[in-house]
Amino acid sequence: MEREVKIKTSKRKFFQQYLRVIKPILKPYLSNGELSVLGELMYYNDKYKDLDPKIKKKLLIDYDTKEDIMETLEISRNTLANTLTALRKGGYLKDRELSKAYQVYPGESFNINYKFIING
């Protein structure tokens, strides 16, 4: 049996929704706050995807990007700094770049397929 669920969303909201769908399989585990910051970083990574990689790397953790993230998520500078540290320690962020697994570039649609294998 197959089931398809269509979700209408915006580009920015997509990354938050995507992370919440895959949250059960993320290692190490991320809190909701960490997921939100990671989602914003994924959004900016996608936004800057056509730039030179060196420029993209600088802009992803740039002062202005951080300010935008803090404003969007309504979090303090300390909260953002602590969250970025946790993302680095977890391997989600390294050398001012997202881990390759989180460099997601959705087009007009994006599919995730789960296959449940039920024993007995």
Asked whether residue 6 is domain-assigned, the answer is no
Asked whether residue 107 is domain-assigned, the answer is no
Report pLDDT for 116: 83
Asked whether residue 39 is domain-assigned, the answer is yes
Asked whether residue 104 is domain-assigned, the answer is no
Asked whether residue 65 is domain-assigned, the answer is yes
Helix (H) or strand (E) holding 12: helix 11-22
pLDDT tens digits in sequence order for the chain, 120 residues long: 788 888 899 999 999 999 999 999 999 999 999 999 999 999 999 999 999 999 999 999 999 999 999 999 999 999 999 999 999 999 999 999 999 999 999 988 888 888 888 997
Report pLDDT for 40: 98
Domain count, the chain: 1
Find, among 91, 11, 88, the residue nearest to 49 by Cα. Answer: 11
Lookup: tokens for 73: 């998520």
Asked whether residue 62 is domain-assigned, the answer is yes
Asked whether residue 74 is domain-assigned, the answer is yes
Asked whether residue 84 is domain-assigned, the answer is yes
Q: Which domain holds residue 94?
A: 11-99
Find, among 6, 15, 88, the residue nearest to 46 by Cα. Answer: 15
